Amino acid sequence: MQDPIDVLLQEHEVIMGRIADLRRAVRDLETRGGDAVGEALPALRSVGEMMATTLHLHARKEDEALFPALEVVFGSEMGPTAVMRQEHRAIHAQADLFRKTLHELHEVEHPAIVRQGAELRDLAARGGGVAELKEAGAEIIRLLDAHFGKEEMVLFPMARNLLQPDVLRRVMERMEEIEADVRR
């Protein structure tokens, strides 16, 4: 059976690999404004989908498998898992805002930009949609960098030190159940 901490770390790598696309898109939106939307749109959509699926599943595994095992050791009210759960909520809220802004930009502004040409492209570059999308993306990057850093430097090593092999096995079994539930 796999080590659940190794699985979560591998998921971090996959997620952050996809966030690299968001970093590039945010940089392009920062430097080129609305002119970058057409080129950035496929990557932005892909990242939005990843946050709704892969990132959400990853957080469920932590919230429903790893964190309860740690909370047996140090409680749930004020411990590190309470902080991590709050950060999960903040990340999900920001991801929802990102997807909503992306949808609005694509469905409302982008088709108009294509139809109306340079004048509307310049207007959109100065307008809120592109700026909001860039800001939402930048905030997701900031939140994930900080959150994953805490997990990798503090929480996961703590879990390895505090949880017995049989507990880690049960954590892995629960993570597999969550994964199977999502596939159904």
- Condensed to tens digits (0 to 9), the pLDDT of residues 25-56 reads 999 999 998 888 888 888 888 999 999 999 99
Instruction: Please state which of the four CATH numbers 3.30.420.40, 1.10.150.20, 3.30.565.10, 1.20.120.520 is assigned to the domain occupying 4-183.
Output: 1.20.120.520
CA-based diameter of the chain, in Å?
64
For 93-124, the pLDDT digits (tens) are 989 888 887 777 655 444 444 444 444 444 44
